[in-house]
Chains A and B, each alone.
Chain A
């Protein structure tokens, strides 16, 4: 039996929801609110990997006695072990392309999208909370990278200069995806795959968060890709699991930007 611990269907929480819906797999949805730090509750499934994984607060899939984390590898786990539709079609070459996209976009889009989303949507939510209580709660977070990521949102580290730098860093992955979609409708070969689920879950928010970067004129293929993805039944079903009605405004700290600058 599968249990998916997730929040609103957005960014890294959206990925396994789409994959499980594509598979038409039976799973138990365990909805939690990471902005209320429910992922640190003693009852929340944890292991060393879920504590240290680089997307910080992302989804966790409990499969038998295993606790699976890190969204792209969750997609691979679902693609390879859950019966149903084939989500990793092709052979070694197509799989390589999917993994290369997953690695590249997970670290580039994954970092930038989360930071822009947290600055726009999470920071105001946290400002409305009791600051003393909030900071005391954040002080308890381990490891320190996760603590620092929350503190950065609370302390307003994402000023205009920082946000401009993040938008600039997003130009490169966005350009790469736009170029790749010029060669075919999907990212890893001729068929739809987990690479498309992975990219979509992060690209879907960019027309809102970085409209200068992703729009019909600058990136027509990405806009079309997002539109085509939204038309898939599994994607619609996954997005329909939102409880707020505004899943694309749900952000928590994600992958860390490169420390090399």
Chain B
């Protein structure tokens, strides 16, 4: 049996969730509440000693990197192929996934953590928060959580993140004006990756991501939202974060 440890259908957790749904692969869902630090509890650290989510357990194999995890699911299971057969389109899919993961996502998440994750946990007892940080296995994650919990993002850092998010949206808009999907002509893991990051852009950056300024992004998001696998995956969300996806209904007005 396949087990997936995940949070909300959003960002890294949403990538394998949507991939598995598109492939039609059943899995045992283990929901971890990121804001309660479930991912740093001893029980989960037995699965993934790094304390990061998501994690996919397939027999005796444990997979913890979300983007390579998507390719694994596509390769290991039957179902509709989610990677192009053309080598150039496959390269393009991977290039864009790295751009999303390493350029777009860190900036988007810095903003998200400063306005959502940080405030959601910050009112707790500081001693409790310090203890929570101490339990985090990876130094890089301890640094990230400390910044979010104690609001240590500088104005310059946040401004640069905002600039990068808008730059990424511009580049993506131009790309989608040339290609209907990330890899080229067909839906692929690149679209799953990008959707998980970008589905809420029209809400978080309404002045820059809308039908007038980024029509190709809007159409791309709506096309992906309309897929049955997307709707089934986002229906698994438990918070208002996942519910934001409904803004992609055609004819939706905020």
Contacts and interface: CB of A to CB of B under 8 A. Distances in A.
A92 B71 CA distance: 8
A37 interface: no
Interface in B68-84: 68-69, 71-72, 75-76
B15 to A, nearest CB: 13
A260 B112 CA distance: 13
Contacts of A100: 63-65, 68
Nearest to B71: A99
A48 B167 CA distance: 13
B67 interface: yes
B88 A103 contact: no
A171 to B, nearest CB: 9
Interface stretch (B28-36, B40-48, B136-144, B194-202): B136-144
Given A92-B72, A99-B68, A76 B63 contact: no
Classify the interface of chain B: helix, strand, loop or mixed. Answer: helix
A250 B99 CA distance: 25
B67 A103 contact: yes
Interface string A57-81: 0000001101011100110110011
A259 B110 contact: yes
Contacts of B94: 70, 73, 76
A96 interface: yes
A53 B75 contact: no
B95 A96 contact: no
Contacts of A106: 98
Given A100-B65, A103-B65, A103-B67, A92 B99 contact: no
Contacts of A77: 87-88, 90-91
B134 interface: no
A239 to B, nearest CB: 26
Given A53-B95, A70-B98, A96 B157 contact: no
A42 interface: no
Given A48-B174, A77-B87, A260-B106, A54 B98 contact: yes
Given A68-B91, A73-B98, A96-B63, A261 B68 contact: no
Given A52-B171, A77-B87, A260-B106, 5 more contacts: A81-B87, A92-B76, A99-B71, A172-B138, A259-B160
Interface of A: 48-49, 52-54, 63-64, 66, 68-70, 73-74, 76-77, 80-81, 91-93, 95-96, 99-100, 103-104, 106-107, 143, 172, 255, 258-261
Interface of B: 61, 63-65, 67-69, 71-72, 75-76, 87-88, 90-92, 94-95, 98-99, 101-103, 106-107, 110, 138-140, 143-144, 147, 157, 160-161, 167, 171, 174-175
